Structure 1
Amino acid sequence: MSANGEILLIDDTPENLRVLGDLLRDRGFTVRVASNGAMALRSVQARRPDLILLDIRMPDMDGFETCRRLRTDPALVGVPVLFLSASDADADRIEAFRVGGEDFISKPFQTEEVLARVTTHLSLARTRRALDLANDLLVGQVQQEGHRRQAAEAVAAERQARLELVLSAASMGSWEVDGKTDKATFDARGREILGLPAGHRPAWRDVVRMIDPGRTQSAAEDAGCDLEGWLQPPIEAAGTTPGRRRVRLRGRWLDPVSGAQGVMAGVIWDVTDEYLLRDRLFQKERLEALGLMAGGVAHDFNNQLAVILGELEILSLTVSVPAPLRPHLDHISAAAEASTSLIKDLLTFARRRDMQLAPTNVSVVVGQAARIATRSLGGHIRCSTTIADDIWTMGNAVQLENAILNLCINARDAMLEGGRLDIQLSINPAGSGICRLCRSGFSGTFAEIVVADTGLGIPESIRERIFDPFFTTKAEGSGTGLGLSAVLGCVTSHDGHLTLTSEIGRGTRFTIHLPVIRPTAPADMAATLPSPRPGSVLVLDDQESVREVIAHGLRHLGWEVAVFSDADAAIAAWQSTTPRFSIALVDMVMPRMSGSAVFRRIRQIDQTAQIVIMSGQAGNETIHALRQEGLAGFVAKPVRLRELAQTLSGLIRTGGPP
């Protein structure tokens, strides 16, 4: 059996058994498999597993019935059962917990989520077993007092040694409370957890208050003990405060008859890591949900912006606008461009924007951002820059610059009465800290971008919320609440970390930590594309206004255009039209058939077909996979007519991706 644990995987689909089994074995778990409920019941009779992963939908005996029967076996008490299901219905979740399941994982599952949940439940099960054993040993130890003194002392010593071994393995401490004096005694590990000095015996009511300030009972007033909470500083004695830790106390009276006149004994352990792991899982699920919402909203907005910007471009190409009307058109164009920037921030937060990473000179990016920020600060704020030369990372210059500018704008708005803004870039070979994004420690060599101000500071009460989309402390109309969300998405997409320090009335310091790469020689920018040359284009988009604007603009520039709203009709037209279209321009997100599916259908008909995908939310992985299959190009929505025409002309000119 593996030291990591033995897992019984129950699923009637062989491919699921293979994929999930390989994943768990690769992480050091021993895996047994069963293809139905009856086989699973026989398997657990032969050997008790440490954890069970159970599919709901199986023939003959479904997962719910299998779980009911497993829970009737006393030998399986304490074995966690985690349900797997493609269904996300509330009724299935409720039934899973009602029949005795500990958790519910929706298919298709995320690898890291499955591993995190499996590891957490195995850890909890082991902790419970260790706790039960510890309590049994304590009860047995105390009950032996007074029976055959010499023999009892020998037995007690042996059991104490075994208890210490168990507690040590579980990182637990032990304690006792004298019900008559209300004084508590902790072993070395217990004192370490509470931050108490050696030899100190605090009153039980003060121990309780350290964990739950709302309770002040003495031991005599407690029927038993089961407490969990964030540790407060010691009250009676000047001990060493162990910091922000979450602890749990559990115990009972050793002699129920004596009760409060006897001894209460139990264990204490630090549950901070377990608590934070659960919190990280919750935050991850929450951010994923927000990302999906942001991506959907951005897709719809991009289609509307594509129409507005496209019509403006067509007007500029076809109509001589009277001078008095030009400012109004400029205002419309500026508002549309500002909305486009807002959508980019949303998609960056959602991590669904097609962000291409390449060797990037961070020194140049930070310098450019500092120059822009300096011009926008106003005379009441002094700006100081310290930028090291020739620092490189794998990144996206536009997104990094936007992230720095968002931090500078926040700093400016925090210094309404004036102050100083420091922008710094350096390499730290021993960088470390606790990341505000992934909530874990990191260390190594990093390029560190610092944006520090002398403004109001960020209250502790809202620091966990400042990266939430649409959260803002600014007056209505003064901010979107997306600036720091965009910074979060940018830093995460660059495999970086973000740290924050702030003091009320003294200022705030954000530090972006980016991986460092070797400097890269600048690319040869001498070559330029010749002027665009028209051809024939098939345009497929389910939004009528979008496809009509694109078609109108391309026709004005000399292209032959056929528009389609239905994927099947567009595919049939490609196959039947002679000669075939030069290029197919296909939207990624459509009902019934996605842009990826249309691409593959057309390529089956014509391996030489030049196909360009357009979308406002396609991710790097999707586009990269299609490029490997022969995708000719990608155009981000909202589409700019001139850029689109140049991309299409490049394909006609070269016969392939430009």
Structure 2
Amino acid sequence: MHLIPQRDYKANILVVDDTPDNLRLLSAMLTSQGYEVRKALSGKMALTACQMVLPDVILLDINMPEMNGYEVCRQLKANEKTRPIPVIFISALDDVLDKAQAFDVGGVDYITKPFHGVEVVLRIENQLNLCLLQNKLQEKNTLLQKALDDLKASQVQMIQQEKMAALGQLVAGIAHEVNNPISFIYGNLQYASQYVSDLVNLIEVYQQEYPNPTPRIQEIVKQIDLNFLINDQQNLMGAMFRGAERIRSIVEALQNFSRLDEAQMKRVDVHQGIDSTLVMLQHRLKQTTDRPAIEVVKEYGNLPLVTCYVSELNQVFMHLLNNAIDALEESYEPENTNYQLPITNYQLPSIHIRTMLTTSDTVKICIADNGPGVCESVLSRIFDPFFTTKPPGKGSGVGLAISYQIIVQKHQGKLTCASSRGRGAEFMIEIPLKQTQLN
């Protein structure tokens, strides 16, 4: 029976054993399965054979004169050229200490004599498949690293606008690829939840109809802790729903990032956009058990209507105001030193919004907070895509990158941040009153 899959090459197996009968047996067994087999009667011969042609897998006997299998394996793993070769130890001893030592010196598997053909082939195939997957992963990692290195090199020469434009197509592809499977998962979770609920209802009916279950059923109920299982499955389903929803929100942010040409340009009152965004965020501005209410101070200048992509500009306001609120909440975390100051010396949380018309026919919008601020090392990367200092689950690292693209690329404007640690942060938007071309 042929056990190995069809390949476009013959896997090279080196069998090392000081017993000729074992060599002949293994060689015949493996050759009949389509492997290319080489034989070595000693450890020294095995090391020489590896230097001539690298095998794909080595079957290595432990108990050999002059140089045992452990020492052979040590020397193989000490050599950079032979280190990646998977070594499967073979021995007549089925001893736990032997197995432990075999893995300790670098072996990947262990086969005991007498040999079982199917077992030997399956163990070899496992290692060959694992090596194949590792090689493919290494290739992808190399390509990814090269892509990252190339991107970093180009960033030195390109302004932020060009970098963001180059990233748009990549993000669109990622969003598309992720969206399909997560939609499938999210949709089927509803059915799975209903199925589980139906099964739980069935169990409850059984308990009512048959209040005296058999001893076997009682034992199973006790083993699986049925009441805990029924209660906890709801928590599990809820956690999976929340996780799927989180991924969907990230995908939506990525899609917004890569579909910036779908909105229409209009002449609008930007103050209305700011005010409507503040209404949406009202629930986040209210007092909580951890901090006072956040005060919003508005200093609106006398602005004319501004030609812009209104929905996208509002999206920038949303990102910047949300970030300001996050920063202010960070001020009240116990580990923040500001939290320890007496309330008389501590500023109440506030967001300051200023708008003005400049002499160069642009509109300037400044959003400042009195939170903990941003250190210089973070400030230099603050508009980089996927860069975030927030804990896992609280930020995807695309909000400010999206905002930068909307202001700089879509509106030919400027988006900058001025901050220092402990002194709050101020984001400054500047866009032309009129756009030179309507996309």
TM interval, shorter chain, is: 0.3 to 0.5
Structure holding more helix per residue:
2
Q: TM-score, normalised by structure 1?
A: 0.25
Q: TM-score, normalised by structure 2?
A: 0.37
Quick one: higher RCO (CA 8 Å, sep 6+), 1 or 2?
2
Structure holding more strand per residue:
1
